[in-house]
Amino acid sequence: MNGVFDRITQAFADEEPQVTPDVEAAGENELPDQHQESERTPARLREVSQDLLRFGLLEERQKPNFYKVAVRELDELNRILEPLDLFAAVDDVRGLVFLKVLKADENADVEEEWSHPLVRKQRLNLEQSLLLAILRQYFVAHEQEAGTGATQALVAVDELIPQMQVYLGDQGSESQERSRILELLNQLKEHGVVTAPDKDERVMIRPVIAHLANPENLTALLHWLRERAQNECDTHKEREQ
């Protein structure tokens, strides 16, 4: 026989709504998921930021949809990048969005040599810098002729070999010179500067080259290398005499 206490507790139990374990678990999980989803960055912007971090740049010609999202949501994109000490810059004439390192010193030179910040903040070596300067001259000449923002700035590998020889001298046989140029081009391709050679042994200079280095620094480098090559040539002639 149930006592008074048993009857009272049973009455309270009868009044409480019965909730199955499945419904209770669903109620616990539903609100946090909805709250987390509402706070997440929109999926499209996440895709754009991930692609920009992966490759260092977005070209309108290659990825028009990503480019449009990046330009439209530039402020939000830079809020995502800010904790990584990065920011996205836009060149709307050439159709580019590219990463730059966010500098604490506002007076620092923001046009220093560029490499993908997440790979390494490494400097280009002398030969890479020289080839970059030569390619930039070709690109500037192409834009002067075809207009700023013009694409299809093509240069043949065979044209670059004598250009490098002017500054570095003859480094060996023709096959060795070609191998050296192809290796350097492949290294710069990893920085997004050029494409791989096509079937006609030509590479396309990509528009981001306009932002990779200070043109005055590149001009000074070419001038210094030209003087060094001339001095070495004069010294060699004096020894022969």
Domain boundaries, the chain: 4-39, 44-101, 126-240
DSSP structure string for 51-108: HHHHHSEEETTT-HHHHHHHHHTHHHHHHHHGGGTEEEEEETTTTEEEEEEPPS-TTS
CATH number listed for the domain at residues 126-240? 1.10.10
Q: How many CB atoms lie within 10 A of CB 152?
A: 8
Half-sphere exposure of 137 (CA within 13 A, CB side): 15
Give pLDDT tens digits along the chain (241 positions).
555 445 544 554 555 455 455 544 544 455 555 545 556 778 899 999 999 888 888 999 999 999 999 999 999 999 999 988 888 999 999 999 988 887 755 444 444 444 444 434 446 788 888 898 899 989 999 999 988 888 889 999 999 999 888 877 777 788 888 999 999 999 999 888 899 999 999 999 998 888 876 666 666 666 766 676 666 666 656 666 6
The amino acid at residue 56 is: G
pLDDT given at position 238: 60
With tokens 């309108």, the residue in question is 60
- Stated pTM of the model: 0.64
pLDDT given at position 31: 52
pLDDT given at position 20: 52
pLDDT given at position 150: 82
pLDDT given at position 70: 94
